[in-house]
Chains A and B, each alone.
Chain A
Amino acid sequence: MADDLTVFEVFGRERKGEPHRHAGSLRAADAQMAVVLAQELFCRRKEYVQIWVVPRTAIHWAPDGDAPLGPEPQRVYRIGEGYRGTVEKWKRFGGDGDASRG
């Protein structure tokens, strides 16, 4: 009986517009029952405006290590830091150098 139960991971959205965050996990016979149980377990105090349940087997992940995933830090062209020079460059055109407007 219990061996037939599926492990579901539960994700909740705390406010409209926010991403869902992992809340915990539970076992249930099917997704419908998982939604019922997720409300019992994780929504007793109006914590979420929406919840998702996802069978754990549906989750896949990239191999993780100690460092954050992503390209090498010297690939600064992917992040704002790679374009810090715009402040100086704007000055040539009489700009005030405020990078946020550049």
Chain B
Amino acid sequence: MSNPQQRKQQMSVLDRLQRYLPQLVIAPPFLLLVFFVYGFIAWTGIISLTNSRMLPTFDVQGIQQYVRLLAMDRWNVAFDNLLIFGSLYILFSITIGCVLAVLLDQRIRAEGALRTIYLYPMAISFIVTGTAWKWILNPSLGIESYMQKLGWESFQFDWIVNRDMAIYVVVLAAVWQASGFVMALFLSALRTVDEDIIRAAHLDGASTTRIYFGIILPSLRPVFLSAFVILAHLSIKSFDLVVALTNGGPGYSSTLPANFMYEMAFRRNQIGLGAASAMMMLATVAAIIVPYLYSELRAKRHG
């Protein structure tokens, strides 16, 4: 039998354990996160300052890899492609998604089925999307040959093998995949809009178009912002779609920075250059995410 004093001590150990339990549970994943995410970001940052080739070295040389990178045509093509791809992808996904959401919001029949049909592409992996669109757009297999077989001999749709147009094919496939998701995002937001607002606007004499574009969509600013941020970071890290659809070709005309990074770091034994391009991508993401987080957190503090 334990005397009361001993028991008191036992209790206090248990109490202490209970008090520190949350920290104890949180600590291991937190440390792993710090090490594997932020640790490796720092590691990549250091590597990008060295002239590592096949194996990493830690002999810091300065910014020469960045100078090399910015002088490479391949990188500049990839970065220009990112600008084209990113802006068109975001623009079309949001526009199409938004219009689909507004149309589906009209209390139509079979809405559930249609919603699933439009949302479904998001459930498919980029590799599958890329492969399917590769077949559809292949001039000798897909749309072009089909239309020609139907009798339209002069029909041409060969963007996928055209140096100047290949990146737009990537946009096409990516928009097909993402606009359903954007639609779901907008539809759920539209459903939270007070129906009385629409009624009031009807009584005020506004047309349905005017109600959507003048009142409802402007009040969905946070949803636009979320959609933008999600699509922006998706576009910057796009990699597999390009691999499956065009494999960066013809030549390197449709590569994106992520493909460039993979090519340099893991195929051409240019780890330093690859690391430098990875840091450039990180900076691009940060340029978008940081202002977003800042505005979100600030809004919460003021809210």
Q: Do A and B bind each other?
A: no
Instruction: Give A contacts to B, CB under 8 Å.
Output: none
Instruction: Give B contacts to A, CB under 8 Å.
Output: none
